[in-house]
A and B are shown apart, each in its own frame.
Chain A
Amino acid sequence: QKEVEQDPGPLSVPEGAIVSLNCTYSNSAFQYFMWYRQYSRKGPELLMYTYSSGNKEDGRFTAQVDKSSKYISLFIRDSQPSDSATYLCAMSHGLIQGAQKLVFGQGTRLTINP
């Protein structure tokens, strides 16, 4: 069983829709939770970061962490065609000798149709 599970999709929604992306995990030691966005033929880039349980909002994006259920979500409001990308969840225990050893989900490919 993978430590982090993410539905690979693909997910296709119309412009303006609310998108919900999710990951589950098995390691209760994870404390830091991230969402990375990866455009086609590019490297991932950090989109959202949260620590422990709770919500975090940044513009049209909201990240939620429920540690009791080992479940994290990313919501995108008023989705735009420019949001079309692969979204990767990532998590970790914290710094190890200063290094950030992240465990990634498989990624969900999202397409927003105009």
Chain B
Amino acid sequence: NAGVTQTPKFRVLKTGQSMTLLCAQDMNHEYMYWYRQDPGMGLRLIHYSVGEGTTAKGEVPDGYNVSRLKKQNFLLGLESAAPSQTSVYFCASSASMATYTGELFFGEGSRLTVL
């Protein structure tokens, strides 16, 4: 029961470098999300997807791009990393359901440091 798997778990980048975070879920969930977690700020939504081939902006999308080419995968890209993007990134997924439950299933996080 892997659930939501994020790779890599840790990464150090220099300012201006690019990278991609990969999220994979094995629960056949329709919806996927990328959040960032910073001290004193809580979790903030970056981008989300309501299905394969679709993406939408969240609360803090600037500097990030995403793609959902396959239902089980959701990629988060940083084209030109900045120190302000130093954070812990969480991927989450949720099922399609008629009744709202508020339940998101989170991965264990990817810790990114931009020097």
Contact = CB atoms under 8 A, between A and B. Distances in A.
Interface of A: 4, 6, 8, 32-34, 41-46, 49, 51, 88, 90, 92, 94-95, 97-102, 104-107
A98 B50 CA distance: 7
A42 B108 contact: yes
Interface in B31-56: 31, 33, 40-45, 48, 50, 56
Interface stretch (B60-68, B70-78, B79-87, B90-98): B90-98
State the majority secondary structure of interface residues on A: strand
B42 A106 contact: yes
17 contacts: A34-B102, A43-B90, A43-B106, A44-B90, A45-B106, A46-B101, A51-B100, A90-B43, A98-B50, A99-B31, A99-B33, A99-B94, A100-B103, A102-B45, A104-B43, A104-B44, A107-B42
B108 A98 contact: no
A4 B103 CA distance: 18
B102 A88 contact: no
Contacts of B92: 43
A105 B103 CA distance: 16
Contacts of B56: 97, 99
Given A43-B92, A43-B107, A100 B42 contact: no
B31 A100 contact: yes
B27 interface: no
Contact of B96 (A34, A92, A98, A106): A98
Given A4-B42, A107-B42, A100 B102 contact: yes
B24 interface: no
Contacts of B44: 104
B21 to A, nearest CB: 14
B74 to A, nearest CB: 12
B100 A8 contact: no
Contact of B4 (A43, A95, A101, A105): A43
Given A98-B30, A100-B31, A104-B42, A32 B102 contact: yes
A102 B48 CA distance: 11
